Amino acid sequence: MDHIDPRARFIFSFALLFSATATWNPNILFVIFLIAIIWYSMGRLTWKETKVGWFMISILLFTMIVVNTIITGGGAGGVVPPGGQLVWPNGFELFGKHFTFGLTVERLWFAVSQLMRILSISLAFIMIPYTMDSRAYGATFSKLGLPDGLAYTMELSFRFIPTLARNFQVTLDAQRARGFELDGRKGNILHKIRRIAPLLIPVTMNAIVSSEDIANAMDLRGFGQSKRTWLHELIFHWWDWVLIVFSVIMLATVLVLAFRFNMRLFSVPQWWYGLFSK
Amino acid sequence: MEADTTVKKKIWAFGTKEVVYAAIGAALYAVLTWAFNVWQIPGAGNVGIRPAIVIPMFFGIAFGPIVGFITGFVGNILADMLSGYGFWIWWDLGNGLIGLIPGMFSALIYRYNETKSILLGEASVVLGSAVGMAVASLSELWVSGADMKTVIFANFIPAFLTNIVWGLVLLPILMIAYAAILKRSGR
Amino acid sequence: MSDPAALPLVVKDLSFRYHTRTTPAIRNINLSLESGQIMLLAGSSGCGKTTLMRCINGLIPHAYQGTMTGEVLIHGKSVKGMGLSEISKNVGTLLQDPERQILGTYVLNEVCFGLESMGMPRKEMLPIAHRTLERLHILHLKDKETFFTSGGEKQKVALAGVLAMEPNILLLDEPLASLDPASAHEALLAFRELADEGLSIMIVEHRVEDVLAIKPEKVVYMDDGEITYSGDTAGLLEAVDYSRIKLPADVIARRAKGKVHPVFLPTVPQLEPESQALVSFQDVRFQYKDDTPEVLHGINLEVRAGEVIAILGHNGSGKTTMVKHALGLLKPTSGKVLLEGVDSKKSTIATAAKTIGYVFQSPTQMLFAPTVREELAYGPQNLGFAKEQVEENVDWAIETVHLEEELPTPPLALSFGQQKRVSIASVLSMRSRVLMMDEPTAGQDYWNYQSFMDTILQTPGFDAIIFITHDLDLALIYANRVVVLYGGEIVADGHPQDVLLDDEKLKKWRLLPTSLLKLNQELWPKTGQYLRAEALSQFLT
C-alpha cells in the first residue's frame, strides 16, 4: 500500500464509495464488496491496529442493521416495498411463549445488502489513516488542485494534535487539582454541560492565543508569498495509473448498469427465498 | 484599550492567520471530540454526546465561514481518524456546515460579550445545526436506504438536538471568554 | 569602522505605535550590527524589545498595523520596500516558544518549511537541510517527530528551520526561556559558533548573566520603549538598575554595598521535626504501563510543617511525575504516598487538594471564569465548602495577592503577571496546607519574578511550600531544603548549603553552578548561610 500514490488511493476510495452507494443490486454489491475486501487485504493492517475502528463500526452497523432494519423495519423503509414474505408466518415459540414478529425475508436480505454496502465503504476508508503518511497530505491535496493555504491546513492540523492533546491533559490535571471531578454528581443537564467550561475554555483560548505566534512563525518563513513546493515527493508509477483506470471503469460500469440497465433497485435473489421455504 | 471596530471584517479572506485558525480549530475539534469520548453514548446512528461540537460553531463566529467550515469538516475527519471510525463524507460535510453558517454571521459581530452578539451567535447555532444535520441525515436516505421517518427520528432529531443543546449553552461562554482575550491581542 | 551602507543591520531613529494604542511602543531607536557580532538586547517585560524585533523582521508593518517613523536598513536597503519573503532570506527569527514556532510534524519537514514557501525544488532542499542539521550537530534527529524531541533539541530544530533559509542576521527572542541551565549553556555556545561563522546575531534576553558567558560584542538596554544604554558589557554592568535584569552576583553585591534593602522574612511556621508528615513518599515506584520503562525508582520523601523545599532537576528527571503523585493524579505502581497520613489510593483528588494546593506553570492552563471572583470560588466550591466560607476564603486570597480591585474583571483580560497572581489566589482560596508551585518564575522577567517570589514566601497561611525549578539561584535564596531529582531518583536531599556544595556533582545533574552560588561559597565563612546578592554586599570587604 505504501507504494501506491495517495492521489490514486483517494480516487479509488471515492470511486468505490460512489459505486457502492449507486445501487442496491445484490450481484453488483457483492462484486464491490469483494473488491473492497481485496483492497483492504492489500493494506496488510493488523487486527491490533484497527480493532478500535472496527468496534465503532460494529456499533454503527448494529444500530443501523439490527435495530433499524431487522427489529423496527424503519431502516429498510426507503428501499424495501411494504408487504412481502414473513420469516415466521405463524409466529414462533420462545421460553414457552408465543411471539409474532413482522420480519420479512425481503427485509432480512436488505440487511445483508446494507451490510455489504457499509462494510465496503468502511473497508475503503478505515485504512486511510493507518496507511497514509501524515506528511503527504499537503502535497497530495495541492496536486489534486487545492490552493496552497487549504492544502497545507490539514498537515498543520496534524502537527498540533499532540500539542493540543497534551494541553488538554494539563488543563484536566489543573482543574482536578482544584476539585473538578469527571463524573458529575448533581445538577440538571444545564449544570452538567456548564461543568465542561473549566476544561473547554482554557484549552480553546490558549489555542487561539498561540495562533498569533504560529501565524508569525509562518509569515516569517515566507508562507504564502510564492507558489509552494513540497518536500514530500509524490511519484506516479504505472500501477497508479492502472488503479485510476480501474477506478474509473468500475464506477462507469456500475453507473451504466444502474441507470442504463435499471440495475440500481433492490431485489432479492431466488436462492434467498429458498432458504426460508419449507 | 478598545479594539478598532471601524474596520469592516473581510469574512472570506484566507491568509496565513486564517490557515492557522482553521488548522488549530480542526485539531482542537478532533482532540476534544476524542477526549470527551468518555461521554460517548452509542445507539443513535452517528450521533454522540459531544460538547466539542461547539468548537466549529465558535471558530465560525470568531473567524468567519471558511475557518468555521474547515474546523468542522476537517476536524470531524480527524476525529474519526483518531478513533478509527472510518470516513463519512456526508457527516463531515454536515459538521462543516455547522461551522460555516455561524461564520456568515461573524460579519455582524464586533463585540463578543454584547447581548446582541450572543443572540446572533445562538441563532446561528440553531440554523447551522439544522442545515448541517439535515444534509448529513438526508444522506442516509441514499447511503443506508432508510426511510424518511427513520432518517428524521433516528438521525436528524437526535443529532440536531444534542448539537444545539451543547452549542446554545457553551457558545456564549466561549464568546465571553474570547471578548476578554481580544483585549490583549495584537495582530 | 566600515561603511554604514554595507552593514548587515542599521536602525535609524525608529519609532512605532500600534494602531490600537495611543502611545508609541518604541521611540528613537538607533543601533547597528556588524557581521560576526552578537548583540545582547536586554530589558524587562514591556520595554519594547518585541516591537523592535518585529520592525526588523518585517512583521511590522506586514502583519501588525500602526505608524512607523525612521528606518531599518538591511545591507543598506530599507525594509520598507521589501516583502516578507525577501526579508526572511536576510533576517531569521527564532520566537520565544519553540513549541509554537515548529510547524513540521517531522524534523526534516520543519527544516524545509521556509524552502517550501520559497518554492524551491525538492532536489535543492535536501542538501541544504542536511547541511543545516549538521551545522547544529543534530543530523541524527532528521527523521524524528518534532513533538517528541526534548526541550533543548526542540529549540535547535526550530533554529535549523530558520537557518535553512540562510539568513545573515539572526534575531533570537528570549531563547533561554524554556531551557534548563545545561541546555541553555549549550544553546548559547551554538549561537557563538554561528556568529563566528559570520552571522550577525541579536539576542533579546533578560537572563543577562547567562548571555555574558558568550561575550556579546555589543549590549543595548531598553527601558520603556527607549534605549537607555548602548555600549560594551562592562559599561552595562555599571549603568543599569540591578534589580531589573539579572546581572552577575558579584556585580550586584558590589554595587549594592552601603544601600538599604528591604528585609525578607519568609512566613512559614517554625520547623517541627517531630510533627506528622504532611506529605510522605514511601518507596514510590511508577511506570505508566507494564511495557514502558519505570519513571520513578523508589522515591522516599517526607514534607513537614516549616519547610520550604526546592525540587531541582533537569527536564525529564521525573519532577512532574512525582508531583502528580503528591496530588493523587497518579497512583504509585508500588510503594505509598500518604497525605497527612492518608493513603492516596484511598482518598479522592478533592481531598488531596485540602492538603496540597498546586499552581501549574502557566496560568492560562487553568483560568476560565468570567470574573476573578468566580475563578477564586471554583476550588472551594468543588471541595464542598459552605457559601460563607467560600466568600471568606475568596476575600482572603485576593487580599493576599493584592488584586482586590480586579475581582469583577475577567481573568483572561489581565496581564500575564496578574494572571499568575490570580492562579495562585485560586489555589490559596482552597486553604490547602502545602503550597506547591511548578516553575513559579516561568514567563516572568527577573524583576517580576523576584518580587513575585518574595510576596509568595511572605504570604501567611501555608504550613510548607514546595517549588519545582531548574533555577539554582531560586533554590539557594528561598529554600531551606533542596531535593535534587536525576533520572527518576532523589540523588540529594538536605540543606542548600550541603546539597549545592559540589560543583562536579551539580554539573552531572545538569545544574550549572551560578555566580551567586560561587559568591555565597566564597563568603560562607562570614555569612554562615546562603543569601541573595544584595544581602551579601555587607559581607564584602
First to last CA, chain A: 48
Mean pLDDT of chain A: 84
Cell 456526508 identifies what position?
B90
Question: In C, residues 346-375, which contact B (CB 8 Å cutoff)?
Answer: 368, 370
Question: What is the secondary structure of C313-337 as a DSSP string?
Answer: --TTSSHHHHHHHHTTSS--SEEEE
For the segment B92-148, what is each residue's pLDDT rounded down to a tens digit?
999 999 999 999 999 898 889 899 999 999 999 999 999 999 998 888 887 777 778
Mean pLDDT of the region C474-492: 92
Scanning every residue of chain B, which has its alpha carbon at the shortest distance from the alpha carbon of A214? B20
Cell of B185: 491581542
Q: C491 — contact with chain B (CB < 8 Å)?
A: no
CATH code, domain with C39: 3.40.50.300
List Cα–Cα distances, C498 to C250, C505, C521, C528, in angstroms: 22, 12, 11, 12
ipTM: 0.90
Query: What gap in Å lies between CA B156 and CA B150, rounded to an integer?
Result: 9
Mean pLDDT of the region A143-160: 91
Mean pLDDT of chain C: 90
With 80 as the cut, is the pLDDT of residue C97 above it? yes
For the segment C350-383, what is each residue's pLDDT rounded down to a tens digit?
788 889 999 988 899 999 999 999 999 999 999 8
Q: A184 — contact with chain C (CB < 8 Å)?
A: no
Chains B, C: CB pairs < 8 Å = 31
C22 assigned to some structural domain: yes
**Cβ pair B84:A126 closer than 8 A:** yes
**Cβ pair C410:B3 closer than 8 A:** no
Cell 550537530 identifies what position?
C137
Q: How far A101 CA sits from the closest chain B CA (Å)?
A: 19
Show the domain range for C115.
Answer: 4-247
C300 assigned to some structural domain: no
Q: What percent of chain C has pLDDT over 90?
A: 56
Which of C18, C20, C23, C422 to mutate against chain B (most B CBs within 10 Å)?
C20
With 50 as the cut, is the pLDDT of residue B40 above it? no
For the segment A12-54, what is each residue's pLDDT rounded down to a tens digit?
999 998 999 888 888 899 999 999 999 988 888 788 777 777 8
Does residue A180 or residue C230 have the better pLDDT? C230
**Cβ pair B1:C21 closer than 8 A:** yes
Question: In C, residues 379-438, which contact A (CB 8 Å cutoff)?
Answer: 379, 381-383, 412, 426-427, 430
With 80 as the cut, is the pLDDT of residue C270 above it? no
Q: What residues of B are in the C interface, CB distance below 8 Å?
A: 1-4, 16, 173, 176-177, 179-181, 183-184, 186-187
Q: Tell me: cis bond preceding B42? Omega within 30 of 0 counts.
A: no
Chain B CB contacts of C113 below 8 Å: none
Q: C447 — contact with chain B (CB < 8 Å)?
A: no
Q: What percent of chain B has pLDDT over 90?
A: 49
Chain B CB contacts of C22 below 8 Å: 1
pLDDT of residue A156: 94
Mean pLDDT of the region A85-109: 78
C486 assigned to some structural domain: no
Q: Helix (H, G, I), strand (E, B), or coil: what is residue B173?
A: helix
pLDDT of residue C5: 62
Chain A CB contacts of B45 below 8 Å: 60, 63-64
Query: What gap in Å lies between CA B118 and CA B177, rounded to an integer?
Result: 12
With 70 as the cut, is the pLDDT of residue B42 above it? no
Query: How big is chain B by its Cα radius of gyration, in Å?
Result: 16
For the segment C276-303, what is each residue's pLDDT rounded down to a tens digit?
889 999 999 999 888 888 999 999 999 9
Beta bridge partners of C435: C357, C465
C42 assigned to some structural domain: yes
Chains A, C: CB pairs < 8 Å = 164
Chain C CB contacts of B184 below 8 Å: 412-413, 415
Of B61, B83, C365, A195, residue with least CA distance to B72 = B61
C449 assigned to some structural domain: no
For the segment A169-228, what is each residue's pLDDT rounded down to a tens digit?
999 999 989 988 766 555 667 777 788 899 999 999 999 999 999 999 999 999 988 889
pLDDT of residue B8: 66
**Cβ pair C108:A231 closer than 8 A:** yes
With 80 as the cut, is the pLDDT of residue A112 above it? yes
**Cβ pair A231:C97 closer than 8 A:** no
**Cβ pair B186:C18 closer than 8 A:** yes
pLDDT of residue C337: 93
Q: How far B67 CA sits from the closest chain A CA (Å)?
A: 10
pLDDT of residue C263: 67
Scanning every residue of chain C, which has its alpha carbon at the shortest distance from the alpha carbon of B15? C63
Chain C CB contacts of A218 below 8 Å: 103, 113, 117
Number of domains within chain C: 1
pLDDT of residue B4: 45
- CATH fold of the domain at B16-182: Arp2/3 complex 21 kDa subunit ARPC3 (1.10.1760)
Chain C CB contacts of B3 below 8 Å: 20
Range in A81-95, A219-233, C296-310 the model is least confident about = A81-95
**Cβ pair B1:C63 closer than 8 A:** no
Chain A CB contacts of B163 below 8 Å: none
